[in-house]
Amino acid sequence: MVALIVAVAAAVSVYIFIYYNFLKGVKCKSDVSLNGRTVIVTGANTGIGKETALDMARRGARVVLACRSKDRAEAARFSRREDKTSNNQVVFMHLDLASLKSVRAFAETFLKSEPQLHILINNAGKTEDGFSMGVGVNHFGHFLLTNLLLERLKQCVPSRVVVLASETYRMVGLDFSKLSRTEPGHTNGFLDYAHSKLCNVLFARELSNRLEGTNVTCYSVHPGEHSITLCGHQPAPIPAPRAGPGLSRFTLQYTPQGGAQTSIHCAVQEGIERFSGRYFSDCRVREVVAHARDDAVARKLWEFSERMVGLSAD
């Protein structure tokens, strides 16, 4: 019994050491106010998106919760009240990024009802348009949304676009054949996810190039969804698995609040404008691997995406 207690105590100690040294993450240090500014957060009803939206509300912004589920969005608004945030300028607008029709409808509604947009956080991560699920939502949906709202962002400078990517972008090269329409359900979940995250990094890079001189900046971010797996097992695709039968797998992750810090940093931190188009992790700019900083490929992806979502006459 004593040996078991000692073993459990040792395991807890290891957990605490790893959490505070590797997983807790870096907290955004900016205390900037967002009074008078409007923010859109996609996928704002749960996880990192919810925590990001809560932070924007605490800073005084008018926050648009752009998500599919009104019930979950209302729950997120209730969390804001529980958090003693006095900001009542938090509203729900329906957006299903799996549907380009829904993206267009959202943009039309937003532009008619909201005169300002200062920060667009492309957070959400299925699609009725036939794209592979991860690429459709993570890239094409956000690509179309950003383009439809771009003029409003330019009218409200200084403004920012934050695109959630992931370290999984490193694992694949860009294969345009995998970005075209597919039969529903015909997809490799993890590779599709990694592909979409590479698209996110390249999208932010090309968007920055096209926005040069406009005072609209953009950033791709790794949200901190790290996992550590012990006992000789390899890490699994994000989201990482929880402890399995017999505790043979021991996985640690950032909390949603911790995972939101880099998105918040890129949305509000002053002085990072010169890093527009760059990739951030743990609230710091990071160098990306060679295939993710190829401007020619980024430009080709942009033009390809325009055709796929119907923004190009070609």
Give the catalytic positions in this structure: 193
Angle at CA 243, nearest 5°, toward 237 and 247? 130
Q: In 3-state terms, what secondary structure has residue 219?
A: strand
What angle, 0 to 180 degrees and rounded to 10, lies between the N-to-C axes of helices 142-155 and 100-113? 20
Residue 248: how many other CB atoms lie within 10 Å? 12
List, in order, residues 6 or more apart from 190 with CB less than 8 Å away: 168, 237
Q: Which residues contact 12 (CB under 8 A, 6 or more apart)?
A: none
Q: Are 198 and 142 in contact (CB under 8 A)?
A: no
Q: Is 94 in contact with 68 (CB distance < 8 Å)? A: yes
Spatial separation of the C-alpha atoms in residues 154 and 171, rounded to whole Å: 34
Task: Yes or no: say if 25 and 259 are a contact pair by the CB < 8 Å rule.
Answer: yes
Q: Are 125 and 137 in contact (CB under 8 A)?
A: yes
8 Å CB contact between 39 and 119: yes
Sign of the C-alpha dihedral computed for residues 136, 134, 46 and 216 taken in this order? negative
Q: In angstroms, rounded to a whole number, what is the distance separating the alpha carbons of residues 203 and 306?
A: 12
